[in-house]
A = this chain, B = another copy of it.
Amino acid sequence: MDAKSLLKEHVSKIVSLTDEQFEYFFSHFKTETYKKGQTVISEGQNVDKEYFVISGCLKSFYVNDEVKMYILQFAMPTWWASDYAALYNKTKATINVDCISDVEILSLSNDDREKLCREIHEVEHFFRWRTNRGYVASQKRLLSFMNNDTKTRYEELLALYPALYNAVPKHLIAAYLGVSRETLSRLYNASKPH
C-alpha cells in the first residue's frame, strides 16, 4: 500500500476526516527514505519531527555511558516514533532512532502537528488517542519489567511483535528486554527441543 493510503487507513480507524481535511492533513507530511543502518535522530541534536513508518523497521534506543544500549521501541509499519521528550520539551535528543532495515517513513514537524491540532479538532482527538495508547502500553511494559522474569518478558515480546523473531538480530531483542545477549542466548537455547 502507498504511504497516503496507509496513513489514511490508520487515521480513519479513530476519527473521520473529510477528503479535503485529509488532503490538507497529509500535505504536511514529507516522505523520507533511509537505508538499513542509517540514523534518523541522534543524541544531542535538536528534534523537530516525528515519524510514521510506512515500510521497514525503526528502533528507538538509549545508549548509556558504558555504551550499553536499551531499546525503547521497535517501530513497524503504522507505528510512530521520535524522541518525544525532546520533541515536546524542545530539548536536545537523549535517545536515538535508526533503521533496522531499509525504511520508508513520513515525517511531521512538531509545529505542523500543533497547527493541525489547533485547526482540526478531529486531528487533536486522533493524537490524544494515540498518546493514550502509548501511555497505557508503556505502563504495561513497566509493570512487566518489575513483575516478570526475562523469559516471560521474552515471550510477551514475541507475542506483541511476532514478526520480530526473524526480522531483527537477537542482541537487539536482548537490548529491548534489558538483559545481556548471553543471557538471552542461554534462555532461548534452554527451551529448544534437543
A contact residues vs B (CB 8 Å cutoff): 62, 64, 68, 70, 72, 84-85, 88-89, 117-118, 121, 124-125, 127-128, 131-136, 138-143, 145-147, 178
Contact = CB atoms under 8 A, between A and B. Distances in A.
How many copies are assembled? 2
Contacts of A125: 117-118, 124
A178 B141 CA distance: 13
A45 to B, nearest CB: 18
A77 to B, nearest CB: 21
Given A145-B146, A147-B62, A85 B139 contact: yes
Nearest to A146: B178
List the 4 closest A-B pairs by CB distance, nearest first: A128-B128, A146-B178, A138-B138, A135-B135
Contacts of A139: 72, 84-85, 138
Nearest to A86: B136
A91 to B, nearest CB: 11
A124 B132 CA distance: 12
A178 B178 CA distance: 15
A72 B138 contact: no
A136 B70 contact: no
A127 B121 CA distance: 13
B135 A70 contact: no
Nearest to A179: B146
